[in-house]
């Protein structure tokens, strides 16, 4: 797991190192968490639209409206996606625990 701040540039180099030529990554998460901002930081330019979160409740505004495959300067590919509105685990608790054992450990 990596902690990243696109705005402060922290952890971005670690992410960049993972995105080697031949790698395709995808950013997933709620609207406003900074998916497009991270890709812009990796690109070194403001290519994808980004909007501030709503002041009232700090939630995103569903700025990204289409999926987009982006070629990064170092050769990796990354897909920007729309903000997730809902997450429905279809494998139940057991599969989640297996897939996210590190998160379960941290939560405990």
CB of 2 to ligand GTP, least distance (A): 12
Give CA angle at 60 (54, 61), nearest 5°.
85
Enumerate residues 6+ apart whose C-beta is below 8 A from 10: 3, 4
Q: What is the DSSP letter of 40?
A: H
Q: Under the criterion CB under 6 A, does residue 7 sit at the interface with ligand GTP? A: yes
Cβ at position 92, least distance to Mg ion in Å:
30
- Identity of the residue, 66 or 108, whose beta carbon is nearer to Mg ion in the bound complex: 66
Q: Which of 51, 67, 74, 97 binds ligand GTP (CB under 6 A)?
A: 51
Q: By CB under 5 A, is residue 36 in contact with Mg ion?
A: yes
């Amino acid at each position: 797991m990596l902690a990243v701040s696109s705005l402060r540039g922290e952890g971005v180099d670690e992410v960049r190192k993972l995105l080697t030529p031949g790698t395709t990554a995808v950013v997933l998460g709620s609207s406003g968490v900074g998916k497009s901002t991270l890709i812009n930081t990796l690109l070194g330019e403001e290519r994808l639209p980004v909007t501030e979160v709503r002041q009232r409740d700090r939630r995103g505004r569903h700025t990204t409206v289409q999926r987009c495959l982006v070629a990064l300067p170092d050769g990796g590919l990354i897909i920007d996606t729309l903000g997730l509105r809902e997450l429905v685990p279809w494998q139940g608790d057991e599969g989640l625990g297996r897939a996210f054992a590190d998160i379960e450990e941290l939560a405990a």
